Amino acid sequence: MKGLVVTKDNKLYLEENLPIPETGDYEALVKNECCMICNGTDLGVIGGKVREVTRYPAVLGHEDAGRVVKIGKKVTSFKVGDLVVRAGQPDNDKFSSAWGGFAEYGIVKDYKAAMEDQADVKDINLGITQQVCPEGMQAEAASMLITLKETYSALKRIGVEDKKKMVILGDGPVALAFLSCAKLMGIQEIYVLGNHRDKLETAEKMGVAGIFLNKDEKEKKKASDLFNRKIDICIDTIGSNQTITQCLDYIKETGTIAVYGLKSGENLDVPLPELRNFNIQYVQWPVPEVEAEVHKPVCDAIMDGKIDIDLFVTHRFSIDDYEKGFQAVKDRTALKVVLNF
């Protein structure tokens, strides 16, 4: 089967002869229909900057969606034809797994059945977020579901339900996912600062209290004057010392900076503000149990039209044209890129 593989020397190529994974008793085989490029993690894996991936060559990708084509004899949570997300690749003699969503076939694990049977299944916790999507959902929407669930679950971990004012720093797909999910959770006054006018205009279409071009000093000052230490939560989707420091100027006493961005290779080095009581909370990696809990509300929001997937997806390519997709991400001309099998 075909799949995208990252080499030790930071190269990405399309492997034509990956082995189709074998299906265990508590596993189901999935034929993937598409996988989205994760602008942060996938590029980080290619660059050797994601510490969870240590062995190469590795099969890339984790934002995949596909249909179940075969089930193990003890599987109860999946049936043939189900649309599922996050099917992955197990390690084999030749290739390790960087989750492995950019492959024609993958495996999902029946976490519920294995727990009920007290079965010892390798990497069974991967099955916590390998979930079935509602009937009628398209594969592309299911693929986008992963980013949305990650951001929605991050907001739950931060605790935003009773907050009123939020600033989102960044204008990429993660920032827009935070915007969509924060609106679902009832936050009415949300501002977005970013460096790309077209992406800020997309945020405006989604509904915001204000957008600001962060690289324009006049707009940046206008935002700072408006926020004036009145912001409950600042979501930093970039995660650098510079952006965290910027957020410190916005939050109120007892406010929170939630750092989601995976800015690798830096120590936390920010000046202490005048505030005496504030929080810097890192939510850079999903907690599977929390992500699984938000599956239904996010699915419902997509199916009810409260989240418009078309506002996120800007580029679509065949897996054979993967280089065009990754180049669009590197050039920052894309929001979400879908590679179809």
Q: Classify burial at 311, counting beta carbons within 10 Å of its beta carbon; exposed 0-12, middle 13-18, buried 19 or more.
A: middle
CB 301 within 8 A of CB 307: yes
Closest CA to 30 of 66, 62, 64: 66
Q: What is the pLDDT of residue 109?
A: 98
Backbone angles phi, psi at 34, to 5 degrees: -160, 165
Q: What is the pLDDT of residue 267?
A: 79
Distance in angstroms (rounded) separating the CA atoms of residues 215 and 237:
16
Q: What is the pLDDT of residue 265?
A: 58
DSSP track, 283-300: --S--HHHHHHTHHHHHH
Distance in angstroms (rounded) separating the CA atoms of residues 314 and 175:
15
Closest CA to 122 of 89, 95, 82, 146: 89
Show the tokens assigned to 165: 């004012």
**Start-to-end CA span in the chain (Å):** 11
Domains of the chain (ranges; CATH) run 3-132+308-340 (3.90.180.10), 152-282 (3.40.50.720)
pLDDT in 10s for each residue of the chain, 341 residues = 999 999 999 999 999 999 999 999 999 999 999 999 999 899 999 999 888 898 999 999 999 999 999 999 999 999 999 999 999 999 998 999 999 999 999 999 999 999 999 999 999 999 999 999 999 999 999 999 999 999 999 999 999 988 899 999 999 999 999 999 999 999 989 999 999 999 999 999 999 999 999 999 999 999 999 998 999 999 999 988 899 999 999 999 999 999 998 775 567 888 877 778 889 999 988 999 999 999 999 999 999 999 999 999 999 999 999 999 999 999 999 999 999 99
Closest CA to 240 of 261, 221, 255: 261
- C-alpha of 245 from chain center: 24
